[in-house]
Structures are given as C-alpha cells and as structure tokens.
Amino acid sequence: MKLVVVSAGLSVPSSTRLLGDRLAAAVGRAAEVDVQVVELRDLAVEIAQNFTNGFPGRALAAAQEAVAGADGLIVVTPVFSASYSGLFKSFFDVLEPEALEGKPVLIAATGGSARHSLVLEHALRPLFAYLKAVVVPTGVYAASEDWGAEGLDGRIERAAGELATLMAGLSVGHGPRAARADSFSAVVPFEEQLAALRPTG
C-alpha cells in the first residue's frame, strides 16, 4: 500500500516533518506500506504560480499525482494564528476536487503551546471532512513540551493503527483499489471498520 506524508514544515530541521516521519514509521509497524513524503516548503513557488496561471509545475503535478494515488495520507501542519498554515491550505486548494474522496487521512499538527491542540478538531478535521476524506478518529498534536513525553508515543501508535486498519480495509474492498487486492474473502463493510476503531469501555 502507498502512504503519502504531506508536511507543511518550513524550517530545517522541522518538528512538523519529524512528527510526520514518526507517524509514518508507526504505520509501517502496523502494515506493509511504501512511504513517500511531500515537502510543501519545496513547492511554495509552484503552488503560488498555479493560482495565477491555472497550471501546476512539474514538481507540484508529481505531488498532486502522488496524493491522488495514495492508499492513505498523513497530513501535518505547523499552527499559525490558531489554524493550519496558508501553505498547507493552498496545497489542498490546488488538488482536483475529488482527489481525497474516500481516502483515509490522519491529521496532525505541531505548535509551541498545548493550548493550540484544538486546531485538529476546529480546523483540520472540518477541512478534510469537506474534501470527503475519511479522517481517522485520533489526531495527533505535538507541542514543544510533548517531545520525549510518554503521551505523544501513545497517541502516535493509536492514530497510526487506525490509519493502517482503514488503509487495509479500503484497499481490499472499495473502488479502484479493489482491483489490486489479492483476495476478496477479507472484505469488511466500511461501517464495521469504523466501529472497530472506536474505543470500548
């Protein structure tokens, strides 16, 4: 299965990219995936040009194709003014309207303070619901003080497990991905897959 990480980190090194890498590694422990990282920092000029001329440059077109063809996405943004970054939003604005429809997405963000953690529910989750993606129940927010803390590792593993479960279920039983499945004997109704992700007790 193909997993694409979209990172909107601006600095080098970037805590946003680090969080994306840790999430991808955790998904890789739960399922067999090929990981590709899209660094939006490197696409900023082409994204801006796409808005003015309507055509993606070569690198942006390759990133759009990677996202559209992925079996699952991890999307990570730094927090700016209590929301996702402009670069992050701009990238998803230049995707084809149906590119994320039905696609499993794990949302994540980084920030300097824990008080911005609600950005996951107030900004990212509504955005990807609007784009008709299937957003996993657990989002991951990492404030500066979270790095090295036990709680972050637990959230990463839980969210990654949820994404791996959805990717595996959808790759077998839904849409064009079904053609790539080796067997249809493991098809599980989508509602049952979501129910399995909900905590019990």
pTM: 0.83
| Band of pLDDT at residue 198, cut at 50, 70 and 90 | low
Residues 35-49 as b/e (b if ≥16 CB within 10 A, e otherwise) read: ebebbbeebbebbee
pLDDT tops 50 at residue 16? yes
For 66-97, write each residue's pLDDT tens digit: 999 999 999 999 999 889 999 999 999 999 98
What one-letter code names the amino acid at 111?
A: G
Mean pLDDT score across all residues of the chain: 87
- Which of 69, 55, 63 minimizes the C-alpha distance to 88? 63
pLDDT at 68: 96
Beta partners for residue 77, in sequence order: 109
C-alpha triplet 71, 77, 79: angle, nearest 5°:
155
In angstroms, the Cα distances linking 56 to 64, 96, 100, 131 are: 9, 11, 18, 20
Is it the case that residue 100 has pLDDT exceeding 60? yes
Q: Which helix (H) or strand (E) holds 94?
A: none
pLDDT at 191: 56
- The residue-averaged pLDDT of 55-59 equals 95
